[in-house]
Amino acid sequence: MKNSNFTNTTDAMNTNNESKIYNLIILDESGSMDAIRMQALSGANETLQTIRIAQKENPADNQMVSFVTFDSGAGRPAVRPIILCEKIEAVKNIEINQYRPYGGTPLYDAMGLSITKLKEIVKEGDHVLVTVITDGYENSSRHFNASMIKELVDSLSRQGWAFTYIGANQDSHTAASGLGIKSAMDFEASAEGSEMMWHKMHSGNREFYKKVRHSKIIGMEADYNDDFFAEKQSMSRITPQYITELQPGEIFVFGSNLAGHHDGGAARLAYERFGAIYGQGTGLQGSSYALPTMNLTLNEIAKYVDEFIWFADSHLEMTFLVTRVGCGIAGFNDSQIAPMFARAYGLPNVFLPAEFWKVLSYKYGK
């Protein structure tokens, strides 16, 4: 295997005494990914932006990024680092000519080579998040096999490394388990499915960074693999179907109109019981939060949902009970609205309707 591109930089060698967070993303670039090429590229750059934001929020994170792609296409190395252990501040977005799906799936070689190289530079006190994204099974590795990868993953997991496996066209939990990876997520290999997957990954990564910060404060390591993708949480973070009263700190999230005419449905309930202000169509109002959905396009609604998620992420002291916004007189359905909340998938203080969780909790073959 050609691996001359895997050359550690001065930054990567961690010559100072500051602990770092290493993000290793291993992305399938085989031919079958061509159908979702643009979504993969957009999602990859969104992930880089998530890491940039985390670094700005907490400069002590010292975020490092490696981004590796793989395929068995002729004329280029089977495993290729697009970004190799660079500080996030120096990382540029990935361009379309840097991601060209072709060939087969040397998944084990990609994992084995990139993880082994990263292992050489990680020191005690550092944190590592390895994310594997593939739309198919291994079919063309020459240097590593499943048992070798499992042995490597098992060893590093005991040292505190976090591993996640995200797969399409397969039972990801079974595939991941065979490689020693506990945290797995299925996604649908479509434009909509891959977009939702990247948003859920964004949510999981942000919660990982928070756990790392908290562990440094309390001086005790967390289990970073436990419920990484919040699948257990999805069973408990369900908004009650009927809400007549709120506990201290709970916020009733309802669909509104920009004019703030809270005349019917959940909006009227928010106005009469939970402090919604007539004439105010957006944001926090008393113990309620107005999220505009009436007479807006889906793209317009999505922007307000993003604003809400960032607000909720910044106010962990509050618990947000999201109703089926947009799915009443606004005229939309759950499959149209629920994916907008994928960025809140791992947020422990955001509860969603059961109908939204059903859409978000995609399982292959079900």
Beta pairing, strands 79-87 & 63-70: antiparallel
Question: What count of other Cβ atoms lies within 10 Å of the Cβ of residue 39?
Answer: 20
CA distances to 19, 233, 253 from 247, rounded to whole Å, are 40, 20, 14
Residue 365: its pLDDT value, please?
A: 87
Alpha helices in the chain (DSSP H): 37-57, 107-119, 146-157, 172-177, 191-218, 265-273, 298-314, 334-337, 354-360
Tokens in use for 98? 């840097």
Whether residue 1 is predicted with pLDDT greater than 80 in this model: the reply is no
Query: Residue 17 is which amino acid?
Result: N
CATH of domain 21-218: 3.40.50.410
C-alpha angle 118/119/125, rounded to 5°? 105
The domain ranges of the chain are: 21-218, 233-360
Please check whether residue 165 is in contact with residue 307, taking contact to mean a CB–CB distance below 8 angstroms: no
The residues with which 355 forms a beta bridge, in sequence order, are none
Task: List, for residues 240-257, the tens digit of each pLDDT value.
Answer: 999 999 999 999 999 999
Please check whether residue 71 is in contact with residue 104, taking contact to mean a CB–CB distance below 8 angstroms: yes
Task: List, for residues 283-340, the tens digit of each pLDDT value.
Answer: 999 999 999 999 999 999 999 999 999 999 999 999 999 999 999 999 999 999 999 9
Residue 21: its pLDDT value, please?
A: 97
Please check whether residue 106 is in contact with residue 74, taking contact to mean a CB–CB distance below 8 angstroms: no
Examine domains 21-218 and 233-360 and report if their fold is the same. no
Name the class of domain 233-360: alpha beta
Q: How far apart are CA 31 and CA 256, in angstroms?
A: 44
Q: How far apart are CA 361 and CA 231, in angstroms?
A: 8
Q: Rounded to two decimals, what is the model's pTM? A: 0.92
